[in-house]
Amino acid sequence: MPRPFAAPPRPTGASVARDDLARRLRATRAHTLALARPLSAEDQVAQAMPDASPTKWHLAHTTWFFEVVVLQPHAPGYRPRDERLGRLFNSYYESLGPRHPRPQRGLLTRPALAEVLAWREEVDAALDALVAGCGEAAWPEVASLLELGLQHEQQHQELILTDILALLAAHPLAPAYRDDPPPPATAAIDPRWGPPGWWDCPGGEVELGHDPRDGFGFDNEGPRHRVRLAPFSIARGLVTNRQWQAFIDDGGYRQPRWWLSDGWAAVQAGGWEAPLYWRRDAGGWRAFGLDGEQPLVPDAPVCHLSFYEAAAYAAWAGARLPTEFEWEAAARALGVAPPGDAPSAPVVLRPPARRSEADLQCFGAVWQWTRSSYDPYPGFRPWAGTVEEYNGKFMVGQLVLRGSSVATPPGHARVSYRNFFPPGARWQFSGLRLARDLEAPGA
């Protein structure tokens, strides 16, 4: 018998307004469809590699999640469209039964895309009815589960873009995700965004992690706890394509001295010579992105790096990667805030302009690798029920990334957000900033 999904703890003193939650839920579900709209049915069924999933699978999986988490246990009289779909679109929930192997999701030509879209409409209608008709006593638990489903879908919105980019990059004609790419010049970050130089932190004891009073947070973001930091300095800006090209030109991919042992093995096994999606022609380096293949923009943040590459660059530059605690402490000290509300229109695939002189380019450009292993915080307890499988069981062999990227939907990022991937992952919108040690005052 599958364990039920228990609702995540609600923020202390939080009151969830139905109208606001219903609005954000509809906007989020509509945004997923908007991301898929530029793609053909054939685009949406193919799988570029075992780590990626087809767009159709994402559309179906997020729908299945709402069906299993919210509707079946809490909507009286709700009947699933087809009980067999769970076997196809369950991701990793062992307690919910057998699953189709992840590397073979591209073989799921059926159900057809039209059937998946019809299923989404049915589930959306059932969610609207539940929000409108749920009793006051049951509403707090239902609202918490709806919020979890919304946040889960936003994660898959970013995966839709990263996964389709991997698919289109493998196409010999290098097609663009969009038919109306902006002029190449708009690919550059505003040169005023993030002043050059470093921000120094004297160190000391800081309180980090998600505060439930601030709203939703995944279980791996807490509990809030205190950390003692040694004095450190963190770069105000992200490492750029121009800087990365200097690393390449200096033989960075040919000298094992900069690389961790596993990283050097990955360079040799994969024949890495540059970041993923960089391509060299007679005119120099070009980069393949969601707008197709474009000339490399020197002052844009370097993107699609593994942890191994980020660590090698940091060693070459005479610096290091920050820990996730240093990253969060700097962001909190400078009052950096992520972009706001959930989108109601297709994603903007360019970083926003800088918001203040103190901004560290934390959000909206690339996820930033840290030197921290993805481990539980002191006192961590996963959510109860089947949802305990959401984050905790992945806390081994992964590294933490902080911030957000151009593909992260507005409203999803948080200062306490902990993204995580294995060190060799390159297909995400991942880059880096540098850090270095400081001497303690009087040392």
| Residues 137, 160: Cα–Cα separation, whole Å | 36
Q: Give per-residue burial for 127-143: e unless 16+ CB within 10 Å, then b.
A: beebbeebeeeebebbb
Positive or negative torsion for Cα 125, 128, 134, 138: positive
Query: Which token pair is 10?
Result: 């609600």
**How far apart are alpha carbons 359 and 248 in whole angstroms?**
28
CA distance 177 to 228: 45
For the chain, the domains span 18-169, 184-437
Of 15-29, 72-86, 127-141, 327-341, the one with minimum mean pLDDT is 327-341
pLDDT beyond 70 at 344: no
CB-CB contact of 253 with 272 (8 Å): yes
pLDDT reported for residue 360: 73
Angle between helix 307-316 and 241-249 (nearest 10): 70
Residue 189, pLDDT score: 41
Q: Is the pLDDT of residue 183 over 70?
A: no
Lowest mean pLDDT among 103-107, 183-187, 397-401: 183-187
User: pTM of the predicted model, to two decimals?
Assistant: 0.91
Q: Is 206 helix (H, G, I), strand (E, B) or coil?
A: strand
Strand partners, 405: 365
How many Å apart are CA 195 and CA 354, to the nearest integer? 10
Write the pLDDT tens digit of every residue in 379-403: 988 877 666 667 778 789 999 999 9
Give just the sign of the alpha carbon dihedral 346, 348, 354, 358. positive
Reply yes or no on whether the pLDDT at 351 is more than 80. no
Neighbours of 351 (CB within 10 A): 22
Q: Among 50, 55, 52, which residue's Cα sits nearest to residue 38?
A: 55
What is the overall mean pLDDT for the chain? 88
| CA dihedral sign, ordered 223, 364, 321, 156 | positive
Picking from 6-20, 43-57, 333-347, 396-410, which range would have the lowest pLDDT averaged per residue?
Answer: 333-347
Kind of pairing between the strands at 367-373 and 430-431? parallel
Judge whether 168 and 175 are in contact, CB under 8 Å.
yes
Q: Are 434 and 317 in contact (CB under 8 A)?
A: yes
- Interhelix angle 18-36/139-169, rounded to 10 degrees, is 20
What 8-state DSSP symbol labels residue 68? I
* C-alpha 197 chain-centroid distance: 27
The CA distance from 329 to 319, in Å, is 19
pLDDT band at residue 96 using 50, 70 and 90 as cut-offs: confident
In percent, how much of the chain has pLDDT > 70? Answer: 86
Each residue's pLDDT tens digit, 36-93: 999 999 999 999 999 999 999 999 999 999 999 999 999 999 999 898 998 999 998 8
389: tokens are 């499988």
| Helix boundaries (H) for 304-387 | 307-316, 324-333
- Give tens-digit pLDDT for 400-418: 999 999 999 989 999 999 9
Asked if 421 contacts 428 with a C-beta cutoff of 8 angstroms, the reply is yes
SS3 per residue for 54-97: CHHHHHHHHHHHHHHHHHHHHCCCCCCCCCCHHHHHCCCCHHHC
Is residue 216 classed as helix, strand or coil in its secondary structure? coil
Instruction: Write the secondary structure of 90-125 as one string of H (helix), E (strand) and C (coil).
Output: CCCCHHHCCCCCHHHHHHCCCCCHHHHHHHHHHHHH
| Backbone angle region of 244, left / alpha / beta, with phi > 0 → left and psi within -120 to 50 → alpha | alpha
What's the CATH code, domain 184-437? Answer: 3.90.1580.10
Helices (H), 261-367: 261-270, 307-316, 324-333
pLDDT recorded at residue 359: 60
